[in-house]
Structure formats: structure tokens, C-alpha cells
A and B are shown apart, each in its own frame.
Chain A
Amino acid sequence: EVQLVESGGGLVQPGGSLRLSCTASGFTFSRYEMTWVRQAPGKGLEWVSYITSSGSTIYYADSVKGRFAISRDNAKNSLYLQMNSLRAEDTAVYYCARVAVAHYGMDVWGQGTTVTVSS
């Protein structure tokens, strides 16, 4: 079964850091580009970051640029999101998602991990 499982969410104070992980199974992770998408409580979807299959190309949303870092370890079938200098507005469910081969839609999603930034 093709699956993505996120972990690492939790409660963190403003200015703090958190590292999210996403573990893939059921497909050849190293062949796929990956993204992080977040959803604030009661709000819509917001793209956060993207990484190519090799990790050679990375993009960020302006809202997280300079504070978040995406990375991957293909040997461990894992995607990461290092989040620093967290703000209240970063509070959201964070999803990792697989980028489809033939287009840039997202064809597989994890169940999400919740990040709450609050004092």
C-alpha cells in the first residue's frame, strides 16, 4: 500500500523549533518529488515547500522562506521539514504529499501532523 506517515508535530513556543518527518512506504521514494502543504485551523490549503527527487532543487513559500528547511534521505525513505523561528501563524496541520510523475498535482497525501505555536 502506498503510504505517507508524518510525525514530529506538537506544541512549541513562539520562536521555537520543530522538525517534522514523513516516512514513505509502498513506492520507490527516491524517484518522486515531494512537497509539504499546511492547513491552518478552519482555513484552506497552503503550499509550504518542494524538493526534487535528488534534493538538488528546493522551493519555499515566501511565508516560510529563511525559517523552514526541507530535506530528504532517500536511503531512509524519509522527508523532513525543519521549522525554526516559529510564529503563531505557523499553527496548522502539516501534510507531506507526493508530487505526481506526469504533472504537479499531489497524488498521495499523509494523514497530517499538527503543529501548535503558542505560549
Chain B
Amino acid sequence: EIVMTQFPATLSVSPGERATLSCRASQSVSSNLAWYQQKPGQAPRLLIYGASTRATGIPARFSGSGSGTEFTLTISSLQSEDFAVYYCQQYNNWPPLTFGGGTKVEIK
């Protein structure tokens, strides 16, 4: 089973600043990685797939990068609606499909 590790667990950022979230896979997942955003009381929303492709309707301030075992989600200028928990998920070697533990982006 591929283990996905996200860090930091919590990221404190001021509105308008850049946020950089990391995700590491226990073995290579190539570019078969997705990122999700989840707000309290809501279902997750797909942000990025293929490590770097934005899903439909996702603003350009969200970008993904990386391949192999190291991945990054960058939010270039945090808006109030971006404060949420973010999860990475690999789909290279499955079952099982595996998620990281999440990074909470909170207001500094």
C-alpha cells in the first residue's frame, strides 16, 4: 500500500499571501496524483489531477507540481474562501486508493 504523507499538518497564512502544501508518497506514483479541498461540513472538491492539471472551474491561483514521490500544491494569493483542509490522493498503484492525512490552511 502506498502511504501518502502531507506536511505541514497546519499552515497559518495571511490573506493575500502564498501557501505551499506538500505531499510525499512512500513510493513513486508518477504523476497520478490528485488534490482536494474540503471546507467544514462540506464534501471534498477536486482541485488538481495528474499532479498539475486544474479541474474544471478551479481558479488559476491553484497550481500543482511534482512527480514521483514529491508533490506541491501552491495557492498563489490566499482568498478568504481558500481556508480549508487540503488532501492529496494517489491513483497510480491501487487498490487501495490512498489519501494523505490532510493539511489545514488557517488564517494567521
A residues adjacent to B (C-beta < 8 A): 35, 37, 44-47, 50, 59-62, 95, 100, 102-107, 109-112
Contact = CB atoms under 8 A, between A and B. Distances in A.
A24 B96 CA distance: 24
B44 A62 contact: no
Contacts of A45: 36, 38, 44, 87, 89, 99, 102
A46 B101 CA distance: 9
A105 B96 contact: no
A47 B101 CA distance: 12
B99 A107 contact: no
B62 interface: no
Q: Which of under 10, 10 to 19, 20 to 34, or 35 or more describes the interface residues of B? A: 20 to 34
Contacts of B100: 44
Contacts of B38: 45
Nearest to B46: A107
28 contacts: A35-B97, A44-B102, A45-B36, A45-B38, A45-B89, A45-B99, A46-B99, A47-B96, A47-B97, A47-B98, A59-B96, A60-B95, A61-B96, A95-B43, A100-B46, A100-B49, A103-B49, A103-B50, A105-B46, A105-B49, A105-B55, A105-B89, A106-B34, A106-B46, A107-B46, A107-B55, A109-B45, A111-B42
A100 B38 CA distance: 18
Contacts, number: 66
A58 B90 CA distance: 18
A28 to B, nearest CB: 17
A44 B44 contact: no
Interface string B75-108: 0000000000001010100111111111000000
A47 B56 CA distance: 23
A105 B95 contact: no
